[in-house]
């Protein structure tokens, strides 16, 4: 642990001086992959993310230059970031940094897109630089606190995104290191993300929260551009970010390799549209399905640790979700769905599917088996032990869920995911067009205006 009193200045300086040419080739491509994934899941949410509607209506009341994806209309950069950000995490299908955990691009991409529309002079190359830096910082913040953020009653994904996205927005619009530092402080003044977000299983905030982050980040950057100032040490100050939320001075992980190693390269892409904690259980269920008839199952034990308990407790309620957001955070439901249908897809969380009596009956057979040795490092781990009518048991353990960089989704799989999401958009996009646009995002010239990222049929046909 260190007590360097120039942490905020060091990070802001790194953001300010970073250039596209200095990004490793792997980071450039990883950033494009994350951008593709973020736009795809946002498009899918336009057709499936009903909880984002109030944020869109609010944004539409104020005209501006920044487009609202999927429904037509435009608004101010901050309100467009709010509306599009509310869609970005609505399906819980975006990427995740398993080590944090964090969802580093959920607020970042809609915030940068909103600014790109308002500033046509900004290039795609500058967008990629800001995105790579912001994603890296969110990941670093998620692992740098000396005490888990949750221990203080905070919910870390939007909390770390708030600071990182503000810094990235400030970098994108060309602020110097002081401006970036003040943007982080101005963002700090706008955020409060309590863990009640995850404890209230029925709350829609869990899905739309990144809109609030994106709005605050854009506002912070624009205020800093206008000359507003905040704190000299927003991160390391006596009552700054880490003192308030993280319990003390940040760990070395915050600065180790800064500017050389980009942790955003290490995000996991989700094969299934549900909480990342359900993924090892979904995977185990799909493997076991090849060896067991779901109709003969009498009991399913899910091996869990402290991270997974919110996904299986209280078991009776988790077995009978009433809304998509509840089903996505349920090990019993997602396991039953995987065993019965042989897949967990966007359609698995439609109202009629969630209410299926056979799925609910099987979900009630999924019970917790706590492993006392498991802690936070097993956040993307899980196993299932299935007992059938004759007493036979079958077990499958997944210690690292699919989609992690060690078990990656390749470009073809990400393009297929984009195509599937686009098919679920408010105005469905055909597979040929969606595939072409996905491939274009991965190859778009860095010299073109950044707003052309969504000057694509996959987005503009919906306006």
Spatial separation of the C-alpha atoms in residues 240 and 386, rounded to whole Å: 48
Determine which helix (DSSP H) or strand (DSSP E) holds 66, and give its type and residue range: strand 66-67
In the CATH hierarchy, which fold is given to the domain comprising 276-398?
60s Ribosomal Protein L30; Chain: A; (3.30.1330)
3-class SS at 67?
strand
**Sign, CA torsion 155/96/92/305:** negative
pLDDT at 1: 38
If one counts every other C-beta atom within 10 angstroms of the C-beta of residue 268, the result is 24
pLDDT tens for the chain, 463 residues long, are 344 559 999 999 999 999 999 999 999 999 999 999 999 999 999 999 899 999 999 999 999 999 999 888 999 999 999 999 999 999 999 999 999 989 999 999 999 999 999 999 999 999 999 999 999 999 999 999 999 999 999 999 999 999 999 999 999 999 999 999 999 999 999 988 999 998 887 889 999 999 999 999 999 999 999 999 999 999 999 999 999 999 999 999 999 999 999 999 999 999 999 999 999 999 999 999 999 999 999 999 999 999 999 999 999 999 999 999 999 999 999 999 999 999 999 999 999 999 999 999 999 999 999 999 999 889 899 999 999 999 999 999 999 999 999 999 999 999 999 999 999 999 899 999 999 999 999 999 999 999 999 975 546 544 3
pLDDT at 2: 41
Please check whether residue 331 is in contact with residue 384, taking contact to mean a CB–CB distance below 8 angstroms.
no
Size of the chain in residues: 463
Spatial separation of the C-alpha atoms in residues 78 and 293, rounded to whole Å: 51
What is the DSSP secondary-structure string of 366-381?
EEEEE-TT--GGGTT-
pLDDT at 143: 97
> Structural domain boundaries of the chain?
7-269+438-460, 276-398
Q: Which CATH class is domain 7-269+438-460?
A: mainly alpha
Buried b (16+ CB within 10 A) or exposed e, 161-198: bbbbbbbbbbbbbebebbbbbbbbbbbbebbebebebb
**Sign, CA torsion 369/373/375/381:** negative
Q: What tokens does 308 get?
A: 């997974």
**Sign, CA torsion 162/167/168/170:** positive
- By the 10 Å C-beta count (0-12 exposed, 13-18 middle, 19+ buried), 461 is classed as middle
Please check whether residue 169 is in contact with residue 218, taking contact to mean a CB–CB distance below 8 angstroms.
yes
State residue 386 phi and psi, 5-degree precision.
-105, 130
Query: Please, what is the end-to-end C-alpha distance for the chain in angstroms?
Result: 50
- The reply to whether omega before 313 is within 30° of 0 (cis) is no
pTM, rounded to two decimals: 0.96
3-class SS at 175?
coil
Spatial separation of the C-alpha atoms in residues 201 and 186, rounded to whole Å: 31
pLDDT at 228: 98
């Amino acid at each position: 642990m260190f007590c360097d009193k120039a942490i905020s200045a060091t990070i802001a300086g790194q953001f300010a001086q970073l250039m596209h040419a200095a990004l490793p080739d792997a980071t450039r491509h990883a950033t494009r992959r994350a951008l593709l994934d973020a736009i795809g899941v946002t498009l899918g949410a336009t057709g499936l993310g009903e909880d984002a509607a109030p944020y869109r209506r609010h944004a539409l009341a104020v005209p501006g230059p920044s487009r609202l994806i999927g429904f037509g209309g435009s608004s101010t950069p901050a309100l467009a970031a709010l509306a599009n950000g509310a869609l970005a995490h609505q399906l819980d299908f975006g990427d995740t940094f398993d080590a944090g955990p964090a969802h580093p691009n959920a607020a970042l991409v809609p915030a940068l897109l909103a600014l790109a529309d308002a500033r046509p002079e900004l290039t795609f190359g500058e967008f990629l630089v800001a995105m790579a830096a912001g994603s890296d910082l969110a990941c670093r913040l998620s692992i740098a606190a000396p005490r888990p953020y949750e221990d203080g009653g905070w919910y870390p994904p939007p909390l770390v995104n708030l600071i990182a996205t503000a810094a990235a927005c400030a970098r994108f619009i060309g602020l110097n290191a002081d401006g970036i530092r003040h943007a982080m402080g101005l963002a700090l003044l706008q955020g409060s993300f309590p863990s009640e977000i995850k404890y209230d299983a029925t709350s829609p905030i869990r899905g739309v929260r990144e809109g609030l982050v994106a709005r605050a980040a854009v506002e912070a950057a624009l205020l800093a551009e206008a000359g507003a100032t905040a704190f000299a040490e927003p991160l390391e100050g006596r009552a700054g970010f880490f003192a308030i939320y993280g319990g003390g001075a940040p760990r070395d992980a915050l600065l180790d390799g800064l500017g050389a190693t980009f942790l955003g390269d290490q995000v996991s892409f989700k094969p299934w549209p549900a909480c990342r904690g359900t993924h090892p259980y979904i995977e185990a269920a799909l493997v076991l399905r090849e060896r067991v008839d779901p109709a003969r199952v009498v009991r399913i034990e899910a091996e869990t640790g402290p991270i997974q308990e919110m996904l299986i407790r209280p078991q009776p309620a988790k077995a009978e979700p009433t809304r998509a957001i509840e089903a996505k955070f349920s090990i019993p439901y997602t396991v039953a769905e995987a065993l019965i249908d042989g897949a967990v897809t966007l359609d698995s969380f439609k109202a009629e599917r969630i209410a299926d009596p056979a799925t609910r009956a099987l979900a009630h057979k999924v019970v917790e088996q706590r492993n006392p040795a498991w802690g936070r490092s097993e956040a993307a781990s899980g196993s299932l032990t299935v007992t059938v009518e004759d007493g036979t048991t079958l077990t499958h353990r997944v210690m690292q869920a699919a989609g992690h960089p060690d078990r990656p989704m390749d470009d073809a799989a990400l393009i297929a995911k984009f195509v599937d999401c686009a098919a679920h958009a408010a105005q469905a996009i055909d597979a040929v067009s969606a595939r072409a646009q996905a491939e274009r995002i991965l190859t778009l010239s860095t010299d073109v205006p950044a707003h052309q990222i969504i000057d694509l049929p996959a987005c503009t046909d919906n306006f």
